[in-house]
A and B are shown apart, each in its own frame.
Chain A
Amino acid sequence: MRLSSEPNFDAPIPGESLTTELGGRPWQSPSQYNTVDEAIEYYMARMTTEEFMVQAVDVLEMGVPVAVLANTMQMSSVMEGVHNIDVGMLVLPVLMEMLMLLGDSAGVKYNTGLDSPSKGKTRESLLAKVANRYKKQLEDVDMTTAREEVKDTEEEDVQFTAGLMSRRN
């Protein structure tokens, strides 16, 4: 996470959430849909509209990860009091799968957002550690003896090539 050096004055002040009347916020009152089935039905009805499909495909095409989009959808529904956060978490995989279905049927190459960006890459800390160890090893090596060793091996190589089937120079 990048930390900003400038103060953020738009952030809520501590205790701001307690300044409104209890139940005044949508997420503080009973949610509209209480079960997973109801929530899925609600999302399916919305996600199968042409308007949503076109917009979703555009957003996926822009490179927004499916996981982020699905999470935003369920989070905004929680904030609107459509369902609670527990139902939202359970519904999340269905939303993701549905968005991927939309992407596949539109032939869009989308980012699922499930793969870790550092997957398959070597850790930089590990590289630095190995480099440091190698540097130390190099410092410990006596270069004069190393050169002699190299010379010896070169001589051995020359002797080795002088076999029966070797070409004459």
Chain B
Amino acid sequence: MYYNMDIENMPKEKQTPATGLLSKSKPMAAAGMDYKNPAVRVAKQLELIRNRRNEINAS
């Protein structure tokens, strides 16, 4: 399960420029990720912790 989480090759989310408070919010699936999929949600959490780990190991 741990090895199957290929978080390095996950599609990256595009940073959309802020266009004001009243702009239409994009659905999360539009970013190329199916956030309804629990595995994707887990992968995002995993990515955050991995990044923090990499920071610790780099310093």
Is B30 on the interface with A (CB-CB < 8 A)? no
Binding site for A on B (CB under 8 A): 1-3, 5, 38-39, 41-42, 45-46, 49-50, 52-53, 56-57
Inter-chain CA distance A6–B53, complex, in Å, is: 46
Is A97 on the interface with B (CB-CB < 8 A)? yes
Inter-chain CA distance A139–B9, complex, in Å, is: 55
* Contact between chains at A37 and B49 (CB < 8 Å): no
* Contact between chains at A92 and B1 (CB < 8 Å): yes
Q: How far is the CB of B49 from chain A (nearest CB, A)?
A: 4
Closest to B38 in A: A36
Which chain B residues border A104 with CB–CB below 8 Å?
A: 53, 56-57
* Contact between chains at A90 and B46 (CB < 8 Å): no
Q: How far is the CB of A83 from chain B (nearest CB, A)?
A: 12
Inter-chain CA distance A120–B38, complex, in Å, is: 35
A93-B2, A93-B46 given as contacts; is B56 within 8 A of A37 (CB)?
no
A36-B41, A40-B45, A98-B49 given as contacts; is B2 within 8 A of A105 (CB)?
no
Which chain A residues border B52 with CB–CB below 8 Å?
A: 101
Number of interface residues of A (CB under 8 A): 20
* Contact between chains at B56 and A94 (CB < 8 Å): no
Inter-chain CA distance A116–B49, complex, in Å, is: 24
Which chain B residues border A36 with CB–CB below 8 Å?
A: 38, 41-42
Is A85 on the interface with B (CB-CB < 8 A)? no
Is A75 on the interface with B (CB-CB < 8 A)? no
Inter-chain CA distance A32–B22, complex, in Å, is: 38
A90-B42, A91-B42, A104-B57 given as contacts; is B49 within 8 A of A97 (CB)?
yes
* Contact between chains at B49 and A94 (CB < 8 Å): yes
Which chain B residues border A89 with CB–CB below 8 Å?
A: 1
* Leading 8 A-B pairs by shortest Cβ distance: A36-B38, A97-B49, A93-B2, A104-B56, A101-B53, A93-B5, A92-B1, A94-B45
Q: How far is the CB of A19 from chain B (nearest CB, A)?
A: 33
Is A67 on the interface with B (CB-CB < 8 A)? yes
Inter-chain CA distance A24–B4, complex, in Å, is: 35
Inter-chain CA distance A90–B4, complex, in Å, is: 11
